Structure 1
Amino acid sequence: MHSHHSHSGDYVSHAVGSLEEMVGTAKAKQLTHFCLTEHMPRLTDQYLYPEELEKGYTVANLKANFENYLTHARRIQARENLAGQIQILVGFEVEGIDLAHIELASMFKKQTDMCIGSVHYVHGIPIDFDREQWDMARTASGGTTRALYKDYFNLQYEVIRALKPDVIGHFDLIRLFQEDEIDQTGRLLSEIDVERDWPDVWELIVRNIKLVVSYGGLFELNSSAIRKGWSTPYPRKDLARAIVKFGGKFCLSDDSHAYKQVALNYHRVWEYVQELGLTHIYHLELNSLGKTIVAEDSVAALSESTFWDQYK
């Protein structure tokens, strides 16, 4: 089993636990492949989070932390991959804030095994931190959820186009703080069928999916949405079915920010895999030359794995 998305308290202020604890737990949970993906540094102090400001951080601290992370992660990788119980891939999570951050990510991509293509900010405002800032981002988009979706998926497209990320992170993260309000159509947002009712948004979603499919990228089924209150992982079923329809490939991620979150709720993600009718799931691994490749796993075979005994 695999996870393509993880963070540690060593290098991310909103995570807890050490990088060594994360890897140790991944081994204890019987993962065979585990990607280390700390956040890339942000470029200006305006993008610092409250917990970073409380520490007195500047972007210089973020840069130093990331450099230290890469050194530490490579050391862990050399040790663990030689031992053979688990394969570690050293990567990072993109901060697709704007073109300057995307350009910086392209440099880090050359130094790592893989990257997660993510968008956490729209108009420079965090969209997954709290509802207040999500509302601010929506206001900056013109005041409607529909417009905010369009801006999010357009920025995501720029990340995908420029970087061709190995894994697309939490594809519909923009939905995390969306509440069930009345849309300008007069209906509740929960009643909106994006494909039917917001065709301009759906067109952008399909465009992004097709671009990822064109270069062989993976979409993560990210279990962190479940611990945040969703009934499914990211992405929700409408987008997940669109990914299936257009030939997309899924991998598994826990987006762990603590060792207790490694492989958390994977049994529920697996139920989702079966609901979607997937016959294969995919993961990244390093071949004998150290090159990152995409490997295919049978859902039927993985369903028989002893991995699932820990959830009984």
Structure 2
Amino acid sequence: MIKVQFAARPERWESYQAPLKAAFSQAGLQVDLRQDHPAAEVDYVIYAPNSDLQDFTSYTACKAVLSLWAGVEKITGNTTLTQPLCRMVDPGLTAGMVEWVTGHVLRYHLDLDRSLNTQDRWDPVVPPLAQERPVTLLGLGALGTACATTLAQLGFPVTGWSRSAKSIAGITCEHGDEGFQNALQQAQILILLLPETAATENTLNAETLAMLPKGARIINPGRGPLIDDAALLAALDSGQIAHATLDVFRQEPLPMDHPFWPHPRITVTPHIAAETRPLTAAQMIAKNIHRGESSRPFLNQVNRQLGY
């Protein structure tokens, strides 16, 4: 019997218990799923970084910690976690991100905000076709690649940037410092889907914001610290950046006195771009446990040196 501990907020247990048991059964796994196994007997931990479990020292038999979150920046620095750590990449989370990003790209592309604010007058302004609207994504992991591919299928010229070289059909792939500048210079709409690491903090700052075409628009469903808040506000006030839609922030919930709330060129959404869905997440967890029990490499295992 495989002993699996569910370590997340108590309210999550109710929504995950049935999907997990169903996924384990479908995968042919004999699992004893609980919230309170003795630590030394646990084979796998299903984990949310905001749970009460923060010390993994006693989990001496644990084969892997399987995170329910795509982001792992809140756990990679935990020195007691020496087991393999896998982040969540599941079809439901990916689909949610693709839909959210595509919706806001089309909102910008079609200038829907302007259209909705001209209901009292006849003011026809015809948007360009998608093929005339270059879009850049910073970050070509699973989520970035899925978003880039969908936007390219809609006709947008899509450039993607990643730390290391990649090749994706239909996408102009850049990497490295020179490629980063090229990617920014193309972007009428810029999407940030980088992980949060020491190397990515303030990716958008005064210098890099100035590399974007004047009037560019920014969409950030990635991580709050990717953007220097003060530099973004200055770029918006100067007109260098026309608008920013932000779903993630350095502090969440975003404090009500934060200058992002009243700014006329900022749209705030409450970290809703991509949420882990219990049904599809459970299937991914079962798949990874099956791989572990079959002595195969885990999917989406975190590289501790890179931080993602």
Q: TM-score, normalised by structure 1?
A: 0.29
Could you say which structure has the larger radius of gyration? 2
**Structure ranking higher in helix proportion:** 1
